[in-house]
Amino acid sequence: MTGKFLPLLILSFLTLSIFAQNKTPKFSVIAFYTGKNDLAHVSFVNEANKRLPEMARQNNFSYDSTSNWANLNEKFLSRYQVVLFLDTRPEKKEQREAFQKYMENGGGWMGFHFSAFALEKSAYNMDWDWYHNTFLGSGGYGSNTWRPTSATLKVEKKNHPVTKNLPNTFKSQPNEWYRWQNDLRENKNITILLAIDSTSFPLGTGPKAHEIWHSGYYPVVWSNKNYKMVYVNMGHNDMDYEHKYDNTNKSLSFTFDNETQNKMILNSLIWLGTGKKVK
């Protein structure tokens, strides 16, 4: 009997394997990045382009990435349901217009850490009002903690797809945390999903006094009700800064080495790829 049914078992196994390999992805993700400035941002980009494809394979969606921002055009974006900004933002007028149109037509977006940064008279000037004030709602950069440290994060909106099955609080990976010019609590279009819990204070180690936060309210993950979007402040790994001139570029922490944080990121991607706007 064993010899009789063995070929059938092998054939069934091969059929299932081929089916799995040819299974149509639920949705497609394209990640844009620059990957040139700041050791910590480069470290995160490299990590993301390793870990997100693994997440895609395990959860049946596709993941592509590109450092060519010229691909931020209507034709190219039509192939994808979700756009990621891993570190920076588009700078050219036509790229910005294509992205705004993509989002206004129902596309999904997830931005990490530096993708929201804007500062007057800098390489990333405050010159894209729709993106920073209307879309993100945060306005320009205000300040940051230093050195990159973990924080306890509190879920502020429990019934949102991004926070599904997350604990009320959890410990993040080390990160440089940003403060913004605008108070997101005053924006009726913004849904704050995660914020720094007060038990995190003091947050940061300095050495400068203003780099250590002792109080305040700091949103770190939020969405805009008018779009399918999520901004995540995480994305700055801790580095061996003391030896940065020795060309070691050693990462001392990794953003994706955190099961709960990864669950939040996966929740976000699945919602952006398959869900609807949440009012």
Report the CATH number that the domain containing residue 187 is assigned in CATH.
Answer: 3.40.50.880
Which amino acid is located at 224 in the chain? N
Nearest in space to 84 (alpha carbons), one of 104, 102, 58: 102
Report pLDDT for 54: 97
The answer to whether position 79 is within a domain reads yes
The answer to whether position 170 is within a domain reads yes
Question: How many domains are contained in the chain?
Answer: 1
Beta pairing partners, 30: 64, 83
Integer Cα distance of 203 and 212 in angstroms: 5
Report pLDDT for 18: 42
More confident site: 247 or 122: 122
Note the pLDDT tens digit of each residue in 48-102: 999 999 999 999 999 999 999 999 999 999 999 999 999 999 999 999 999 999 9
Report pLDDT for 279: 83
The answer to whether position 145 is within a domain reads yes
Report pLDDT for 84: 98
The answer to whether position 1 is within a domain reads no
The answer to whether position 13 is within a domain reads no
pTM here is 0.90
Dihedral sign of CA atoms 218, 32, 157, 174 in order: negative
Average pLDDT in the 186-204 region? 98
Q: Place 241 in a pLDDT band, splitting at 50, 70 and 90.
A: confident
Integer Cα distance of 40 and 31 in angstroms: 18
Report pLDDT for 22: 56
Most distant pair of Cα atoms in the chain: their distance = 79
- Tell me what percent of the residues of the chain surpass a pLDDT of 70: 90
- In terms of residue numbers, what domain contains 33? 27-274
16 has a pLDDT exceeding 50: no
The answer to whether position 200 is within a domain reads yes
Average pLDDT in the 112-135 region? 97
How many other CB atoms are there within 10 angstroms of residue 209's CB atom? Answer: 8
The answer to whether position 266 is within a domain reads yes
